[in-house]
Amino acid sequence: MITITAFKWVPPSAQGLVRDLRVRWALEEAGLPYDVRLIDGSVQRTEDYLAMQPFGQVPVLIEDDLTLFESGSIVLHIGEKSETLLPKDRELRARAVTWVFSALNSMEIAITPLVQIDLFYPNEAWAKERRPGAEQFTRRRLTDLSASLGDKLYLEGHFTVGDLIMVSVLRILRHTELVGEQPNLAAYIERCEARPAFQRALEGQMAAFRAHAA
């Protein structure tokens, strides 16, 4: 049986975005059963947990004698068990993996500074000075991604692990109107969020937050 870790509760601004959602979604797409171990701050910095996740974050995946951390790595591992996520065709498979790295290294890195400014430092003078540049850089990356997607339903024409990670990253911008400036990206996110596997994964995460709300 696969077990993943997730937080018992996070502030509303992070609910629906914590990275265990990516893993839950992948497991749901793959049709693999799994258990969830909910943790909080009392566990994060313990010696046992840090031995599994050096930074005290979630998710961790435990499967028999295998322990993995980092959502991208875990999702690729799950993808090995599912043709929905990683096609058998060598070229299509390589392209799907490429989009995973693109989402994490080209898009998430560009988006994160803007999100950190907006959510954690909105009133700081330095943040107000940096925000226009951070927004401009994010908008540029979104424009490039929009051009690559074009009128396709998914990045490679059919859903893969690359779309799962890309949409998970784009959702981080939900507090802004930036994605909406690119209608094909907005439709792309909506299309992926409508997948039953995503809906099950999201409900699983949100149910835990509701159960542990203060």
- Residues 142, 185: Cα–Cα separation, whole Å: 8
Q: What pTM did the predictor assign? A: 0.97
Query: Tokens for 133?
Result: 């540049």
196, containing H or E segment = helix 196-211
At 33, is the pLDDT very low, low, confident or very high (cuts 50, 70, 90)?
Answer: very high
CATH of 2-84+197-208, one of 3.40.710.10, 2.60.40.420, 3.40.30.10, 3.40.50.720: 3.40.30.10
Cβ atoms 77, 22 nearer than 8 A: no
Query: Tokens for 157?
Result: 């024409």
Instruction: Give the DSSP letter of residue 84.
Output: T
At 121, is the pLDDT very low, low, confident or very high (cuts 50, 70, 90)?
Answer: very high
Packing angle of the helix pair 71-79, 161-170 (nearest 10 deg): 150
At 2, is the pLDDT very low, low, confident or very high (cuts 50, 70, 90)?
Answer: very high
Residue 214 has pLDDT above 80, yes or no: no
* CB contact set of 21 (below 8 Å; sequence gap of 6+): 168, 201, 202, 205
* CB contact set of 146 (below 8 Å; sequence gap of 6+): 182, 184, 185
Output the average pLDDT for the chain.
97
At 156, is the pLDDT very low, low, confident or very high (cuts 50, 70, 90)?
Answer: very high
Could you give the C-alpha distances from 175 to 11, 14, 116, 119, 152, in angstroms and in order?
14, 11, 12, 9, 25
Residues carrying CATH 3.40.30.10, the chain: 2-84+197-208
Asked if CATH classification 1.10.1040.10 holds for the domain at 90-195, the reply, yes or no, is no
Mapped onto helix, strand or coil, the DSSP state of residue 75 is: helix
Q: For residue range 186-205, list pLDDT tens digits in order.
A: 999 999 999 999 999 999 99
Residues carrying CATH 1.20.1050.10, the chain: 90-195
Q: For residue range 51-110, list pLDDT tens digits in order.
A: 999 999 999 999 999 999 999 999 999 999 999 999 999 999 999 999 999 999 999 999
What is the rounded radius of gyration, in angstroms, for the C-alpha atoms of the chain?
17
Helices (H), ranges, 32-182: 41-44, 47-52, 71-79, 90-102, 109-120, 125-149, 161-170
